[in-house]
Structure 1
Amino acid sequence: MHDVTALSVVGAGAMGHGLAVHCALAGLDVTLVDHRQANLDTARDRFGEAVTFLASEGLIGTDPETALDRVDFTLGLTTGVADADVVVETVSEDLDTKRDVFERLATATSDAVLASNTSGLSIDDIAEAVPDAAGRVAGCHWWYPPYLLRPVEVVRGTHTTDETVERLCAFVEGVDRDPVLVERDVPGFVWNRVQFAVVRECLHLVSEGVASVEDVDRAVRDGYATRTAAIGPFETMDIAGLDLFQTIAEGLFPHLADDDGPGDPLAERVREGRTGIDTGAGFFDYDDAPETVTRRRDERVAAIQRALRDDEASSR
């Protein structure tokens, strides 16, 4: 087993800088690579903001400058990944773009694990670009923001070696995160399959006039999601009784949404240009700037993380 002391992150966007934040705080030397200096400059600023936020929420005790000292920002991909034990690619969700990056990574490295943070593209499709290095290619899907959410999907492609999976899981555990091992390269992996199953049912309920956007949001956020923060679906079934869940499932499953497309509630808003907080409107209207909206979300997630951390500490 190889110890992971050096990480390279390719792509300095929202996920890239977030990965750099978390892994630098966990003690790794991180090289953040991007093809635009402006992206690196923005990432540097956002890095400091994220560390300051975590400190203000009582989740870390490190000042931004100490963490920032562990990060190198560079435009040079070849030199930026030369000493890496693990490389995580976080570029745009475009297969051709990712394949191009992996071709360059395979040439620039000989032993490093080559991981993609893709949330939906096939690991096998990405690995096709580097047949000689396909054994080193795997998925490493972090959930945003990575410095707040613990699970990380480690996705095994058809050609991914056991050693690559073991090294990637060790890396995830080494930075105090919980690997979710996805043994097969299926569309959406685990997290997005569950998330979009919930989204599809929510859209269906609204389109059928069963409940309003506001009430569906409230039911999921304040009910289902609040309980799910404490226990997962399988433990929920154990507590309620598998026989009860079997009876309910037999009656309910035939009535759940099986739509092949996103449906009118989503499509209509996209056509109208109501695409979310960046336009000031989506399913809801927003008067605040996007960064204010996401800050409120992060504060709520941080509060949940503090509560879970304190509960875990008190039960030891």
Structure 2
Amino acid sequence: MTSPTTSTPAAVAVVGAGTMGHGLALQFARHGAGVTLVDHRESNLDDARTGVDDALDFLAAEGLLEADPDAVRSRIDYTLDTAAAVADAELVVETVSEDLAVKEQVFEQLAAAAPEDAILATNTSSIPITDVAAAVPDAAARVVGCHWWNPPYLLPTVEVVRGTATSDDTVDRTAAFVEAVNREPIRVERDVPGFVWNRIQFAVLRECTHLVSEGVASLPDVERAVRDGYALRTAVVGPFETADLAGLDLFRSIAANLYPHLSDADEPGPLFEERLAAGRGGVADGAGFHEYGASEAAVVRRRNERVAAIRRALDGD
């Protein structure tokens, strides 16, 4: 059995070259790992190369790149051959589409081709780790959730999610690899739908859509209440510390009065359906809940610039 280590994995394979895939490859490579990024389409790999270059330029412009860009690029290989990509990997991170059937096929390939002690991680944000591991029962102890948040080269936390068959060694090694690339593991000890981050995110979103649908406040005002109020404070204090600061007696009383009135909806509701029916699917369509006059790349860059500014402010505190 391999002992947990705090050193960067020597060889990492990232399966799936989309937005998360190239971001993960970059994060591991900037901390010294040799990375092989694999996809089933050459055009996706071409897009990933461009994505890596753009992200390196962004990090350099923001003063957040501690490594030589050319050295980072040199550590990333691109291939269409999954078996070759994972043949020597210590850590394999799958980040393909959120479709269990697709992930099952991928993990069958990974279990057959990767070394017997390689960690087989999935970046799924919603599919139970136990369901993914069921496709490879002989390797289930090595299957673990490793859920990064987008963009992975900016956001500091990573959920390490235990499936029912995941071994302690796999969890410990995965958490150590996350730490070795300057990220903070959040250990999720029970394989519940949505893990931690998405359960919180969608609980907030459900209440926000409820408030707008019920005419309590406008969509822009609810957006500002979260972004410029709640989220600004939670950037520096979490919910439990917030309760400590106010006093548990007060928060217990507020909770007792408020909980019965919070949304318990089990469907997304009309705010989603109306916009989707009108072709307003989000930034890629130019409109969703908001109108977007800029390109998708420009909107993403603006978000990343704001996240980077917050990271700099917090790191300098």
Asked whether 1:223 is paired with 2:229, we answer: yes
Give runs of aligned pairs for residues 202-281 of structure 1, distance below 5 A: 202-281=208-287
* Counterpart pick for 2:130 among 114, 124, 135: 124
* Counterpart pick for 1:21 among 19, 26, 39: 26
CA shift for structure 1 position 271: 1.2
Give runs of aligned pairs for residues 1-316 of structure 1, distance below 5 A: 1=3, 3=5, 4-109=9-114, 110-311=116-317
C-alpha distance in 2 between matches for 1:92 and 1:271? 23
C-alpha distance in 2 between matches for 1:247 and 1:61? 48
Counterpart code for 2:106: V
SS of 1:88's partner is strand
Q: List 4+ stretches of structure 1 deviating above 2 A.
A: 61-64
SS of 2:120's partner is strand
CA deviation map 1:37-56 (0-9, x unaligned): 11111101110110110010
SS of 1:180's partner is strand
C-alpha distance in 2 between matches for 1:274 and 1:125? 33
SS of 1:181's partner is strand
Question: What is the TM-score normalised by the length of structure 2?
Answer: 0.97
Counterpart code for 1:268: E
CA shift for structure 1 position 232: 0.7
SS of 2:257's partner is helix
CA shift for structure 1 position 63: 3.8
Residue in 2 that maps onto 1:314: none
Conserved 8 A contact 1:52-1:63: no
Conserved 8 A contact 2:4-2:172: no
Bigger drift between 192-201 and 33-42 goes to: 33-42
C-alpha distance in 2 between matches for 1:270 and 1:278? 12
What's the Cα RMSD here? Answer: 0.8
Counterpart code for 2:86: V
SS of 1:140's partner is strand
Count of residue pairs the alignment pairs up: 311
Unmatched runs of 5 consecutive residues or more in structure 2: none
CA shift for structure 1 position 277: 0.8
Counterpart code for 1:290: E
Counterpart code for 1:151: T
Conserved 8 A contact 1:55-1:62: no
Question: What is the TM-score normalised by the length of structure 1?
Answer: 0.97
SS of 2:135's partner is coil
CA deviation map 1:147-205 (0-9, x unaligned): 00011000000000000001100010111100000001100000000000000000000
CA shift for structure 1 position 2: 5.0
CA shift for structure 1 position 62: 2.9
SS of 2:124's partner is coil
SS of 2:147's partner is strand
Unmatched runs of 5 consecutive residues or more in structure 1: 312-316
CA deviation map 1:256-286 (0-9, x unaligned): 0000101111111111111111111111111
C-alpha distance in 1 between matches for 2:261 and 2:220? 22
Conserved 8 A contact 1:11-1:32: yes
CA deviation map 1:218-272 (0-9, x unaligned): 0000000000001111111111111110000000000000001011111111111
C-alpha distance in 1 between matches for 2:176 and 2:42? 32
C-alpha distance in 2 between matches for 1:141 and 1:42? 22
Bigger drift between 267-276 and 200-209 goes to: 267-276
C-alpha distance in 2 between matches for 1:63 and 1:114? 29
Bigger drift between 56-65 and 116-125 goes to: 56-65
Counterpart code for 1:204: H
Conserved 8 A contact 1:55-1:63: no
